[in-house]
């Protein structure tokens, strides 16, 4: 077989393989639909995408689903605070154990522990609040280009050629259920240090069910996709660099207003501090109409590996 024919066959095989994969959003909705083992005990699985450990956003989202299924729908979650304890094994189901901490007149509190192989790999507290009227104010939408003016991240890294690290290329070109359109596109081509801020528009790649709980879980999933990387921008590094050992250590998320995760949301991120091998980052989500819908904070390991 000629070289051209071999290349054409490989391209055809890759296209066929891509076509046979389940739709990424359908796959995400499937892993968020936890199996109920007992009243407050649930089991979740991970997608088989070849990663050595479970994606942190997946565990946050699944734990949120588990907690929410023990609370009436009239009390949506307003905040969650989580710790990643151990890396999860994608080949092993995760058991989510929900503890009913408090059922008050206005607030409900749940604690969730994620277990694999008899050990806790993750712990999270979630607070739910009965909706009520009150004073309102919110920070406005940053002045950045809209999603229609920007290219998606997959296109950017593919066009970056050899200057894009292979791990970054593999991460952004896989079939994610979330579409990303970065504002600061030089991040994908230039390794020069820059201000510790980053903006990216994101949304689910196809319409989601109407259930608001699904949209909250999808946002929780997406909130861990790019945040830690903001801590390395001032140093001209990324979490994909082989000399950087990175891992999310904790994650906090506050829901402020109703939203749809299948509509464009601007994720504005910055990092006010990094020291001692740890980086702190925070972020806000706005919809296209300028409503502040959620806030995020995270600390992670950004250790420089020794030669």
Active site residues: 224, 248, 298
Do 61 and 221 meet the contact criterion of CB atoms below 8 Å apart?
A: yes
Between CA 155 and CA 145 the distance in angstroms is: 17
Between CA 90 and CA 48 the distance in angstroms is: 7
97: nearest Cα among 80, 113, 81, 85: 113
- Residues facing 77 on adjacent strands: 128
Between CA 268 and CA 227 the distance in angstroms is: 9
Q: How far is CA 166 from CA 14, 15, 171, 188, 294, in A?
A: 18, 20, 9, 12, 32
| DSSP three-state, residue 167 | helix
Do 299 and 247 meet the contact criterion of CB atoms below 8 Å apart?
A: no
Q: Which residue has the tokens 């712990």?
A: 123
Between CA 105 and CA 111 the distance in angstroms is: 18
């Amino acid at each position: 077989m000629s070289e051209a024919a071999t290349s054409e066959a490989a391209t055809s095989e890759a296209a066929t393989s891509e076509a046979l994969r389940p739709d990424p959003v359908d796959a995400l909705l499937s892993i968020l639909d936890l199996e109920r083992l007992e009243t407050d005990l649930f089991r979740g699985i991970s997608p088989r995408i070849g990663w050595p450990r479970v994606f942190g956003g997946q565990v946050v989202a699944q734990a949120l689903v588990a907690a929410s299924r023990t609370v009436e729908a009239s009390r949506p979650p307003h905040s969650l605070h989580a710790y990643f304890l151990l890396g999860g094994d994608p080949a092993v189901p995760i058991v989510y154990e929900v503890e009913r901490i408090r059922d008050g007149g206005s607030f409900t509190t749940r604690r969730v522990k994620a277990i694999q192989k008899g050990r806790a790999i993750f712990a999270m507290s979630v607070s739910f609040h009965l909706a009520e009227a009150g004073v309102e104010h919110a920070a406005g939408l940053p002045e950045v280009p809209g999603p229609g003016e920007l290219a998606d991240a997959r296109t950017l890294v593919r066009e970056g050629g050899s200057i894009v690290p292979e791990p970054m290329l593999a991460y952004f070109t896989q079939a994610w259920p979330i579409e990303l359109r970065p504002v600061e596109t030089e991040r994908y081509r230039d390794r020069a240090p820059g201000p510790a801020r980053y903006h990216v528009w994101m949304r689910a790649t196809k319409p989601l069910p109407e259930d608001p709980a699904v949209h909250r879980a999808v946002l929780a999933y997406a909130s861990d996709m790019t945040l830690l990387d903001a801590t390395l921008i001032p140093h001209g590094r990324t979490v994909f660099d082989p000399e950087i050992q990175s891992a999310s250590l904790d994650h906090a998320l506050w829901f402020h207003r109703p939203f749809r995760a299948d509509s464009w949301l601007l994720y504005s991120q910055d990092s006010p501090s990094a020291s001692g091998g740890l980086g702190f980052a925070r972020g806000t989500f706005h919809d296209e109409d300028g409503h502040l819908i959620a806030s995020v904070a995270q600390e992670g390991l950004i250790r420089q590996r020794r030669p």
